[in-house]
Amino acid sequence: MKTVILAGGLGTRLSEETNTRPKPMVEIGGRPLLWHLLHIYSYFGFNEFVIALGYKHEVIKEYFRSFYEHNNDLTVDLADGTLTVRERQAERWRIHLIDTGLNTKTGGRIELLREHIGDERFMCTYGDGLASVDIRALIDAHTRSGKLATLTAVRPPARFGALEMDGDLITSFEEKPQMSEGWVNGGFFVFEPEVFAHIHGDEMLEHGALPRLSALRELNCYRHDGFWQPMDTLRDRRLLEELWATGSAPWVLGDGVAARRP
């Protein structure tokens, strides 16, 4: 099953980092956020990706074009110009890099990828958020639902800490919890190919196809109570960096050895 990554947006709310690169290429722990995201899917055995490019698409293309050299040791013979790669690690990913335009909306980007996806079920998510989603459980929930689409609902992280009080006494102090109430769209979708019939041209997925599917009762919900964090601001990026630095980043699944290897 292929996974679509929506990586073409302008990233204006993170302009301090995105003047020279697209948001999915902003680094966490010395690796692009996109690299972390692909590792989530790869952990569950999904290694074929269709990446919808747009803003500064050449940066992502160049990163993957030189990925093997950048992530392995090299021997360079300056006498004859030969380059030998001393293999240290290799990903199993197959990546299709498709330019879907600078200003194309999310639904329009998916529509433009139709020929690359084919007539089969596919997954999709945004290129600027990380989560500890169990991808296999998500797919199982989608299959059981029999619906055309499944959306992962998450509890957004609180902007400020949470206090519980009894009069003037603080009975509970939690610095930055996930919100205990309310759910939002966290991405990590599963779509049947019939979903293309519900995308009408260049439109926002969130304002077009998803509301239509909901009205038809064809939009299933997979509730994820665990970690989810978008990277919309410098504060978000610092939080992700801090989590990575602890050695226990919640989105690193399994033993995390391969994903954390420098």
Domains of the chain: 2-260 (3.90.550.10)
Q: CA–CA separation, 113 vs 34, rounded Å?
A: 18
Using CB atoms within 10 A of its CB, is residue 22 exposed (0-12), middle (13-18) or buried (19+)? buried
Residues 6+ apart with CB under 8 A from 24: 5, 7, 32, 33, 34, 37, 60, 127, 128
Q: CA–CA separation, 172 vs 166, rounded Å?
A: 9
pLDDT given for residue 196 in this prediction = 97
Phi, psi of 161 (to 5 degrees): -65, 165
pLDDT given for residue 69 in this prediction = 79
Q: Give the predicted TM-score (pTM) of the model.
A: 0.87
Report the sign of the C-alpha dihedral through residues 193, 148, 210, 222, in that order.
negative
Q: CA–CA separation, 212 vs 206, rounded Å?
A: 10
Q: CA–CA separation, 26 vs 56, rounded Å?
A: 12
Tens-place pLDDT, residues 166-177: 776 666 666 666
Find the length of the chain.
262
Parallel, antiparallel, or unpaired: how do β-strands 149-154 and 189-191 relate? antiparallel
What distance, in Å, lies between the first and last C-alpha atoms of the chain?
29
Please give the chain's pLDDT, 262 residues, in tens. 999 999 999 888 788 788 889 999 999 999 999 999 999 999 999 999 999 999 999 999 999 998 887 788 889 899 988 888 777 667 899 999 999 999 999 999 999 999 999 999 999 999 999 999 999 999 999 999 999 999 999 988 776 666 677 776 666 666 666 665 678 999 999 999 999 999 999 999 999 999 999 999 999 999 999 999 999 999 999 999 999 999 889 999 865 434 444 3
